Structure 1
Amino acid sequence: MIADENTTVVARIADSIAERIISGTLQPGAPLRQDHIAREFNSSHVPVREAFRQLQAQHLVVAVPRRGVRVAPLDTHAVKEIAEMRAALEVVALRNSAPRLTSVHLARIELALIESDNAQTIEEFERTNRAFHQALVMPCAMPRLLASLDGLQLANSRLVFAMARTAGWRPRSNQDHRLILQALRARNFDHACNLLARHIQTIERLTLPAS
Protein backbone atom coordinates (compact mmCIF):
# COMPACT_ATOMS: atom_id res chain seq x y z
CA MET A 1 0.00 0.00 0.00
CA ILE A 2 2.83 2.41 0.91
CA ALA A 3 4.59 1.62 -2.37
CA ASP A 4 1.38 2.37 -4.29
CA GLU A 5 0.97 5.67 -2.44
CA ASN A 6 4.57 6.66 -3.22
CA THR A 7 4.05 5.80 -6.89
CA THR A 8 0.95 8.00 -6.97
CA VAL A 9 2.81 10.91 -5.36
CA VAL A 10 5.73 10.54 -7.78
CA ALA A 11 3.36 10.56 -10.75
CA ARG A 12 1.51 13.60 -9.42
CA ILE A 13 4.74 15.55 -8.94
CA ALA A 14 6.22 14.50 -12.28
CA ASP A 15 3.02 15.25 -14.21
CA SER A 16 2.60 18.67 -12.59
CA ILE A 17 6.18 19.76 -13.26
CA ALA A 18 6.09 18.35 -16.80
CA GLU A 19 2.97 20.37 -17.56
CA ARG A 20 4.65 23.56 -16.34
CA ILE A 21 7.77 22.90 -18.39
CA ILE A 22 5.86 21.97 -21.56
CA SER A 23 3.59 25.03 -21.34
CA GLY A 24 6.53 27.34 -20.70
CA THR A 25 5.49 28.32 -17.17
CA LEU A 26 8.88 26.98 -16.10
CA GLN A 27 11.50 28.45 -18.41
CA PRO A 28 14.69 26.74 -19.67
CA GLY A 29 17.40 26.80 -17.03
CA ALA A 30 15.00 27.44 -14.14
CA PRO A 31 16.20 25.67 -10.94
CA LEU A 32 14.04 22.97 -9.38
CA ARG A 33 14.58 22.80 -5.63
CA GLN A 34 13.78 19.52 -3.92
CA ASP A 35 12.80 21.18 -0.65
CA HIS A 36 10.44 23.67 -2.33
CA ILE A 37 8.73 20.96 -4.37
CA ALA A 38 8.48 18.60 -1.39
CA ARG A 39 6.72 21.35 0.59
CA GLU A 40 4.39 22.15 -2.32
CA PHE A 41 3.25 18.53 -2.58
CA ASN A 42 3.47 17.80 1.14
CA SER A 43 5.87 14.93 0.52
CA SER A 44 9.32 13.77 1.51
CA HIS A 45 12.34 14.27 -0.73
CA VAL A 46 12.26 10.63 -1.92
CA PRO A 47 9.30 10.94 -4.36
CA VAL A 48 10.66 14.30 -5.54
CA ARG A 49 13.98 12.69 -6.48
CA GLU A 50 12.14 9.89 -8.29
CA ALA A 51 9.99 12.45 -10.14
CA PHE A 52 13.19 14.23 -11.18
CA ARG A 53 14.55 10.96 -12.57
CA GLN A 54 11.40 10.46 -14.61
CA LEU A 55 11.52 14.02 -15.93
CA GLN A 56 15.18 13.57 -16.85
CA ALA A 57 14.31 10.43 -18.81
CA GLN A 58 11.68 12.51 -20.63
CA HIS A 59 14.34 15.10 -21.57
CA LEU A 60 12.53 17.81 -19.63
CA VAL A 61 15.10 18.42 -16.88
CA VAL A 62 18.85 18.06 -16.55
CA ALA A 63 21.05 17.43 -13.53
CA VAL A 64 23.89 19.96 -13.57
CA PRO A 65 26.94 19.22 -11.36
CA ARG A 66 27.08 21.60 -8.39
CA ARG A 67 23.99 23.43 -9.69
CA GLY A 68 21.29 20.82 -9.05
CA VAL A 69 18.32 19.97 -11.24
CA ARG A 70 17.20 22.53 -13.79
CA VAL A 71 14.70 22.77 -16.62
CA ALA A 72 16.36 21.40 -19.76
CA PRO A 73 17.60 23.98 -22.27
CA LEU A 74 15.80 24.74 -25.51
CA ASP A 75 18.79 25.73 -27.60
CA THR A 76 19.63 24.71 -31.14
CA HIS A 77 21.59 21.68 -29.94
CA ALA A 78 18.67 20.41 -27.82
CA VAL A 79 16.18 20.85 -30.66
CA LYS A 80 18.48 19.02 -33.09
CA GLU A 81 19.02 16.18 -30.63
CA ILE A 82 15.29 15.71 -29.95
CA ALA A 83 14.43 15.82 -33.66
CA GLU A 84 17.12 13.32 -34.64
CA MET A 85 16.27 10.93 -31.81
CA ARG A 86 12.57 11.03 -32.65
CA ALA A 87 13.21 10.62 -36.37
CA ALA A 88 15.35 7.55 -35.74
CA LEU A 89 13.28 5.85 -33.04
CA GLU A 90 9.80 6.65 -34.34
CA VAL A 91 10.72 5.33 -37.78
CA VAL A 92 11.94 2.08 -36.20
CA ALA A 93 8.63 1.85 -34.34
CA LEU A 94 6.61 2.56 -37.49
CA ARG A 95 8.49 -0.08 -39.49
CA ASN A 96 7.46 -2.63 -36.89
CA SER A 97 3.97 -1.19 -36.44
CA ALA A 98 2.96 -0.75 -40.08
CA PRO A 99 2.55 -4.46 -41.04
CA ARG A 100 0.35 -4.93 -37.94
CA LEU A 101 -2.01 -2.04 -38.66
CA THR A 102 -5.62 -3.15 -38.95
CA SER A 103 -8.61 -1.19 -40.19
CA VAL A 104 -9.33 -0.29 -36.57
CA HIS A 105 -5.80 1.09 -36.12
CA LEU A 106 -6.05 3.06 -39.36
CA ALA A 107 -9.40 4.49 -38.28
CA ARG A 108 -7.83 5.60 -34.99
CA ILE A 109 -4.99 7.30 -36.87
CA GLU A 110 -7.47 9.03 -39.18
CA LEU A 111 -9.56 10.24 -36.23
CA ALA A 112 -6.46 11.80 -34.62
CA LEU A 113 -5.62 13.43 -37.96
CA ILE A 114 -9.12 14.91 -38.28
CA GLU A 115 -9.10 16.15 -34.69
CA SER A 116 -5.69 17.73 -35.27
CA ASP A 117 -6.96 19.46 -38.43
CA ASN A 118 -9.96 20.78 -36.47
CA ALA A 119 -7.96 22.02 -33.47
CA GLN A 120 -8.79 25.62 -32.59
CA THR A 121 -6.16 26.18 -29.90
CA ILE A 122 -2.50 25.27 -29.55
CA GLU A 123 -3.43 23.07 -26.57
CA GLU A 124 -5.90 21.08 -28.69
CA PHE A 125 -3.40 20.80 -31.52
CA GLU A 126 -0.63 19.58 -29.23
CA ARG A 127 -2.88 16.91 -27.69
CA THR A 128 -4.20 15.63 -31.02
CA ASN A 129 -0.80 15.82 -32.71
CA ARG A 130 0.63 13.65 -29.95
CA ALA A 131 -2.31 11.23 -30.32
CA PHE A 132 -1.64 10.91 -34.06
CA HIS A 133 2.00 9.97 -33.55
CA GLN A 134 1.16 7.56 -30.73
CA ALA A 135 -1.47 5.85 -32.89
CA LEU A 136 1.07 5.31 -35.67
CA VAL A 137 3.43 3.28 -33.52
CA MET A 138 1.26 1.69 -30.82
CA PRO A 139 0.92 -1.73 -32.59
CA CYS A 140 4.71 -2.20 -32.81
CA ALA A 141 4.64 -4.32 -29.61
CA MET A 142 7.98 -2.90 -28.40
CA PRO A 143 7.26 -1.54 -24.91
CA ARG A 144 10.76 -0.20 -24.22
CA LEU A 145 10.80 1.68 -27.50
CA LEU A 146 7.32 3.07 -26.86
CA ALA A 147 8.38 4.24 -23.40
CA SER A 148 11.35 6.08 -24.91
CA LEU A 149 9.08 7.65 -27.52
CA ASP A 150 6.64 8.83 -24.85
CA GLY A 151 9.43 10.88 -23.30
CA LEU A 152 10.51 12.27 -26.65
CA GLN A 153 6.91 13.13 -27.49
CA LEU A 154 6.69 15.23 -24.34
CA ALA A 155 9.93 16.97 -25.25
CA ASN A 156 8.49 17.60 -28.71
CA SER A 157 5.30 19.02 -27.19
CA ARG A 158 7.48 21.52 -25.39
CA LEU A 159 8.97 22.54 -28.74
CA VAL A 160 5.48 22.95 -30.21
CA PHE A 161 4.50 25.38 -27.45
CA ALA A 162 7.81 27.24 -27.74
CA MET A 163 7.32 27.60 -31.50
CA ALA A 164 3.79 28.90 -30.95
CA ARG A 165 5.02 31.51 -28.48
CA THR A 166 7.74 32.65 -30.89
CA ALA A 167 5.97 32.57 -34.25
CA GLY A 168 2.30 32.36 -33.31
CA TRP A 169 -0.10 29.58 -34.22
CA ARG A 170 -3.25 29.35 -36.28
CA PRO A 171 -5.56 26.41 -37.13
CA ARG A 172 -4.40 24.52 -40.21
CA SER A 173 -4.50 21.07 -41.76
CA ASN A 174 -1.42 18.87 -41.59
CA GLN A 175 -0.63 17.65 -45.07
CA ASP A 176 2.30 15.54 -43.83
CA HIS A 177 -0.02 13.55 -41.57
CA ARG A 178 -2.42 12.99 -44.45
CA LEU A 179 0.35 11.75 -46.76
CA ILE A 180 1.65 9.35 -44.10
CA LEU A 181 -1.83 7.88 -43.65
CA GLN A 182 -2.29 7.54 -47.42
CA ALA A 183 1.00 5.66 -47.70
CA LEU A 184 0.02 3.32 -44.87
CA ARG A 185 -3.38 2.62 -46.46
CA ALA A 186 -1.57 1.79 -49.71
CA ARG A 187 0.80 -0.46 -47.70
CA ASN A 188 3.74 1.54 -49.01
CA PHE A 189 5.56 1.28 -45.72
CA ASP A 190 8.97 2.53 -46.89
CA HIS A 191 7.38 5.69 -48.23
CA ALA A 192 5.41 6.18 -45.01
CA CYS A 193 8.62 5.88 -42.97
CA ASN A 194 10.45 8.36 -45.20
CA LEU A 195 7.57 10.82 -44.90
CA LEU A 196 7.54 10.42 -41.13
CA ALA A 197 11.28 11.06 -40.80
CA ARG A 198 11.05 14.18 -42.95
CA HIS A 199 8.01 15.40 -41.02
CA ILE A 200 9.68 15.02 -37.61
CA GLN A 201 12.84 16.78 -38.74
CA THR A 202 10.89 19.90 -39.70
CA ILE A 203 10.60 20.74 -35.99
CA GLU A 204 14.34 21.40 -36.00
CA ARG A 205 13.97 23.93 -38.83
CA LEU A 206 10.88 25.65 -37.50
CA THR A 207 11.47 25.95 -33.77
CA LEU A 208 14.81 27.72 -33.58
CA PRO A 209 17.09 29.53 -36.02
CA ALA A 210 20.23 27.74 -37.08
CA SER A 211 23.28 28.55 -35.00
Structure 2
Amino acid sequence: MTATIADTIYARLSQQIITGALSAGEKLRQDHIARAFDTSHVPVREALLRLEAHGLAQSEPRRGMRVTALDPAEIREVIEMRVALEPLALQHAVQNATPGDLQAIDVARLACDGAEDMPTWEARNRAFHRAILTPCAMPRLLSAIDDLHIASSRHLHAHWRQRWRQRTDTDHAAILMAMKRRDAETACDVLRRHLRRAL
Protein backbone atom coordinates (compact mmCIF):
# COMPACT_ATOMS: atom_id res chain seq x y z
CA MET A 1 0.00 0.00 0.00
CA THR A 2 1.42 3.37 -1.06
CA ALA A 3 1.91 5.95 1.67
CA THR A 4 -0.14 9.12 1.26
CA ILE A 5 1.06 12.63 2.09
CA ALA A 6 -1.12 12.43 5.24
CA ASP A 7 0.73 9.23 6.22
CA THR A 8 4.07 10.99 5.73
CA ILE A 9 3.00 14.02 7.78
CA TYR A 10 1.61 11.82 10.55
CA ALA A 11 4.78 9.67 10.66
CA ARG A 12 7.07 12.73 10.82
CA LEU A 13 5.07 14.60 13.45
CA SER A 14 4.44 11.54 15.62
CA GLN A 15 8.16 10.75 15.63
CA GLN A 16 8.97 14.34 16.61
CA ILE A 17 6.45 14.18 19.48
CA ILE A 18 7.66 10.75 20.63
CA THR A 19 11.30 11.84 20.69
CA GLY A 20 10.51 15.17 22.37
CA ALA A 21 11.55 17.32 19.38
CA LEU A 22 8.02 18.73 19.60
CA SER A 23 7.38 19.43 23.27
CA ALA A 24 4.18 19.25 25.32
CA GLY A 25 1.92 22.27 24.75
CA GLU A 26 3.54 23.18 21.43
CA LYS A 27 1.00 24.41 18.87
CA LEU A 28 0.64 22.39 15.67
CA ARG A 29 -0.20 25.07 13.10
CA GLN A 30 -1.92 23.74 10.00
CA ASP A 31 -0.61 26.49 7.73
CA HIS A 32 3.02 26.02 8.85
CA ILE A 33 2.80 22.24 8.45
CA ALA A 34 1.16 22.54 5.03
CA ARG A 35 3.97 24.85 3.86
CA ALA A 36 6.67 22.55 5.28
CA PHE A 37 5.26 19.59 3.33
CA ASP A 38 4.23 21.68 0.29
CA THR A 39 0.65 20.46 0.45
CA SER A 40 -2.91 21.62 1.10
CA HIS A 41 -4.61 21.72 4.50
CA VAL A 42 -6.63 18.55 3.79
CA PRO A 43 -3.85 15.97 4.42
CA VAL A 44 -2.56 18.08 7.32
CA ARG A 45 -5.98 17.95 9.00
CA GLU A 46 -6.10 14.18 8.44
CA ALA A 47 -2.65 13.74 10.01
CA LEU A 48 -3.57 15.94 13.00
CA LEU A 49 -6.77 13.97 13.61
CA ARG A 50 -4.69 10.77 13.66
CA LEU A 51 -2.29 12.34 16.16
CA GLU A 52 -5.29 13.22 18.32
CA ALA A 53 -6.72 9.69 18.01
CA HIS A 54 -3.38 8.29 19.24
CA GLY A 55 -3.25 10.68 22.20
CA LEU A 56 -0.29 12.69 20.88
CA ALA A 57 -2.21 15.91 20.21
CA GLN A 58 -5.32 17.58 21.56
CA SER A 59 -7.71 20.05 19.98
CA GLU A 60 -8.57 22.99 22.23
CA PRO A 61 -11.45 25.41 21.54
CA ARG A 62 -10.14 28.64 19.97
CA ARG A 63 -6.54 27.51 20.54
CA GLY A 64 -6.12 24.91 17.81
CA MET A 65 -4.23 21.64 18.03
CA ARG A 66 -1.42 21.23 20.58
CA VAL A 67 0.96 18.46 21.62
CA THR A 68 -0.45 16.68 24.68
CA ALA A 69 1.37 16.72 28.01
CA LEU A 70 2.97 13.52 29.31
CA ASP A 71 0.88 12.06 32.12
CA PRO A 72 3.02 10.01 34.57
CA ALA A 73 -0.05 7.99 35.59
CA GLU A 74 -0.61 7.02 31.96
CA ILE A 75 2.45 4.79 31.67
CA ARG A 76 1.22 2.39 34.38
CA GLU A 77 -2.10 2.01 32.57
CA VAL A 78 -0.35 1.56 29.21
CA ILE A 79 1.99 -1.12 30.56
CA GLU A 80 -0.86 -2.99 32.27
CA MET A 81 -2.80 -2.95 29.00
CA ARG A 82 0.24 -4.20 27.09
CA VAL A 83 0.75 -6.97 29.68
CA ALA A 84 -2.86 -8.04 29.09
CA LEU A 85 -3.00 -7.74 25.29
CA GLU A 86 0.46 -8.63 23.98
CA PRO A 87 0.61 -12.14 25.52
CA LEU A 88 -2.82 -12.81 23.99
CA ALA A 89 -1.46 -11.87 20.57
CA LEU A 90 1.79 -13.75 21.18
CA GLN A 91 -0.03 -16.94 22.15
CA HIS A 92 -1.70 -17.03 18.72
CA ALA A 93 1.47 -15.84 16.97
CA VAL A 94 3.52 -18.74 18.38
CA GLN A 95 1.09 -21.25 16.86
CA ASN A 96 0.89 -19.44 13.48
CA ALA A 97 4.52 -18.38 12.98
CA THR A 98 6.12 -19.68 9.78
CA PRO A 99 9.87 -20.18 9.27
CA GLY A 100 9.79 -16.89 7.32
CA ASP A 101 8.15 -15.11 10.27
CA LEU A 102 10.80 -16.47 12.65
CA GLN A 103 13.56 -15.32 10.33
CA ALA A 104 12.03 -11.82 10.15
CA ILE A 105 11.82 -11.75 13.97
CA ASP A 106 15.49 -12.69 14.25
CA VAL A 107 16.46 -9.93 11.78
CA ALA A 108 14.43 -7.44 13.87
CA ARG A 109 16.08 -8.71 17.09
CA LEU A 110 19.60 -8.30 15.71
CA ALA A 111 18.79 -4.84 14.32
CA CYS A 112 17.52 -3.77 17.75
CA ASP A 113 20.66 -5.09 19.49
CA GLY A 114 22.82 -3.23 16.95
CA ALA A 115 21.22 0.19 17.49
CA GLU A 116 23.80 2.82 18.43
CA ASP A 117 21.49 5.54 19.77
CA MET A 118 18.22 5.84 21.67
CA PRO A 119 15.93 6.96 18.79
CA THR A 120 17.16 4.15 16.53
CA TRP A 121 16.87 1.58 19.31
CA GLU A 122 13.35 2.71 20.21
CA ALA A 123 12.11 2.41 16.61
CA ARG A 124 13.78 -1.00 16.20
CA ASN A 125 12.51 -2.20 19.58
CA ARG A 126 8.99 -1.30 18.47
CA ALA A 127 9.60 -3.16 15.19
CA PHE A 128 10.75 -6.28 17.09
CA HIS A 129 7.65 -6.28 19.30
CA ARG A 130 5.45 -5.83 16.21
CA ALA A 131 7.28 -8.69 14.44
CA ILE A 132 6.70 -11.23 17.24
CA LEU A 133 2.98 -10.37 17.35
CA THR A 134 2.13 -9.99 13.65
CA PRO A 135 1.71 -13.76 12.98
CA CYS A 136 -1.32 -13.76 15.32
CA ALA A 137 -3.28 -12.44 12.30
CA MET A 138 -5.70 -10.46 14.51
CA PRO A 139 -5.75 -6.97 12.96
CA ARG A 140 -7.97 -5.27 15.57
CA LEU A 141 -5.83 -6.53 18.42
CA LEU A 142 -2.63 -5.47 16.62
CA SER A 143 -4.07 -2.01 15.96
CA ALA A 144 -4.86 -1.55 19.67
CA ILE A 145 -1.34 -2.71 20.58
CA ASP A 146 0.20 -0.31 18.02
CA ASP A 147 -1.52 2.59 19.81
CA LEU A 148 -0.11 1.41 23.14
CA HIS A 149 3.39 1.15 21.62
CA ILE A 150 3.19 4.80 20.57
CA ALA A 151 2.30 5.87 24.12
CA SER A 152 5.07 3.66 25.56
CA SER A 153 7.62 5.06 23.14
CA ARG A 154 7.02 8.62 24.26
CA HIS A 155 7.54 7.68 27.91
CA LEU A 156 10.67 5.67 27.05
CA HIS A 157 12.20 8.70 25.36
CA ALA A 158 11.25 11.02 28.19
CA HIS A 159 12.55 8.84 31.03
CA TRP A 160 15.34 6.67 29.61
CA ARG A 161 17.10 8.93 27.11
CA GLN A 162 19.88 9.87 29.53
CA ARG A 163 20.33 6.32 30.86
CA TRP A 164 20.14 4.41 27.59
CA ARG A 165 23.14 2.29 26.62
CA GLN A 166 23.72 -0.19 23.83
CA ARG A 167 23.13 -3.79 24.92
CA THR A 168 22.05 -7.23 23.80
CA ASP A 169 18.45 -7.85 24.86
CA THR A 170 18.38 -11.34 26.38
CA ASP A 171 14.57 -11.23 26.76
CA HIS A 172 14.15 -10.73 23.02
CA ALA A 173 16.41 -13.73 22.37
CA ALA A 174 14.49 -15.85 24.91
CA ILE A 175 11.13 -14.99 23.31
CA LEU A 176 12.42 -15.98 19.88
CA MET A 177 13.86 -19.27 21.19
CA ALA A 178 10.52 -20.12 22.83
CA MET A 179 8.68 -19.29 19.60
CA LYS A 180 10.98 -21.63 17.67
CA ARG A 181 10.07 -24.42 20.14
CA ARG A 182 6.35 -23.52 19.85
CA ASP A 183 6.45 -22.92 23.62
CA ALA A 184 3.77 -20.24 23.97
CA GLU A 185 3.72 -20.39 27.78
CA THR A 186 7.42 -19.54 28.16
CA ALA A 187 7.29 -16.90 25.42
CA CYS A 188 4.36 -15.16 27.14
CA ASP A 189 5.96 -15.39 30.60
CA VAL A 190 9.16 -13.76 29.32
CA LEU A 191 7.17 -11.06 27.51
CA ARG A 192 5.14 -10.18 30.64
CA ARG A 193 8.32 -9.86 32.73
CA HIS A 194 9.99 -7.84 29.97
CA LEU A 195 7.08 -5.38 29.77
CA ARG A 196 6.78 -4.94 33.53
CA ARG A 197 10.43 -3.82 33.70
CA ALA A 198 9.34 -0.59 32.02
CA LEU A 199 7.53 0.38 35.24
TM over 0.5: yes
Specify the alignment match of 1:14 in structure 2.
Answer: 10
Cα shift at 1:192: 1.5
Match status 1:23 vs 2:19: yes
Specify the alignment match of 2:112 in structure 1.
Answer: 116
Specify the alignment match of 2:67 in structure 1.
Answer: 71
Specify the alignment match of 1:160 in structure 2.
Answer: 156
What stretches of structure 2 of length at least 5 have no aligned partner? Answer: none
Looking at structure 2, the residues matched to 23 and 88 of structure 1 have their Cα atoms a distance apart, in angstroms, of: 26
Match status 1:183 vs 2:178: yes
- TM-score (structure 2 length as normaliser): 0.85
Task: State the one-letter code of the partner of 2:75.
Answer: V
Looking at structure 2, the residues matched to 74 and 152 of structure 1 have their Cα atoms a distance apart, in angstroms, of: 14
Looking at structure 2, the residues matched to 72 and 80 of structure 1 have their Cα atoms a distance apart, in angstroms, of: 17
CA spacing shift, 1:114–1:9, aligned 2, 3 Å? closer
Percent identity of the aligned residues? Answer: 43
CA spacing shift, 1:70–1:87, aligned 2, 3 Å? farther
CA spacing shift, 1:181–1:122, aligned 2, 3 Å? same
Specify the alignment match of 1:209 in structure 2.
Answer: none
User: 1:97 touches 1:140 (CA, 8 Å); kept in 2?
Assistant: yes
Specify the SS of the correspondent of 1:32: coil
CA RMSD, Structure 1 to Structure 2 (Å) = 2.3
Cα shift at 1:104: 2.3
Q: Deviations over 1:115-160 (max 9, x none)?
A: 2222222233123212211110111111222223233323323233
Specify the alignment match of 1:208 in structure 2.
Answer: none
CA spacing shift, 1:135–1:156, aligned 2, 3 Å? same
CA spacing shift, 1:125–1:56, aligned 2, 3 Å? same
Specify the alignment match of 1:169 in structure 2.
Answer: 164
Looking at structure 2, the residues matched to 128 and 43 of structure 1 have their Cα atoms a distance apart, in angstroms, of: 30
Specify the alignment match of 1:201 in structure 2.
Answer: 196
Give the number of aligned pairs.
198
Looking at structure 2, the residues matched to 41 and 163 of structure 1 have their Cα atoms a distance apart, in angstroms, of: 31
Specify the SS of the correspondent of 2:135: helix
CA spacing shift, 1:108–1:9, aligned 2, 3 Å? closer
Cα shift at 1:66: 5.3
Specify the alignment match of 1:107 in structure 2.
Answer: 103
Q: Decide which of 177, 187, 193 is 1:192's aligned counterpart.
A: 187
Q: Deviations over 1:25-61 (max 9, x none)?
A: 1012322223332333343333222111211233322
Specify the SS of the correspondent of 2:66: strand
- TM-score (structure 1 length as normaliser): 0.81
Cα shift at 1:64: 4.0
Cα shift at 1:65: 5.0
CA spacing shift, 1:117–1:29, aligned 2, 3 Å? same
User: 1:60 touches 1:71 (CA, 8 Å); kept in 2?
Assistant: yes
User: 1:58 touches 1:150 (CA, 8 Å); kept in 2?
Assistant: no
Cα shift at 1:16: 1.8
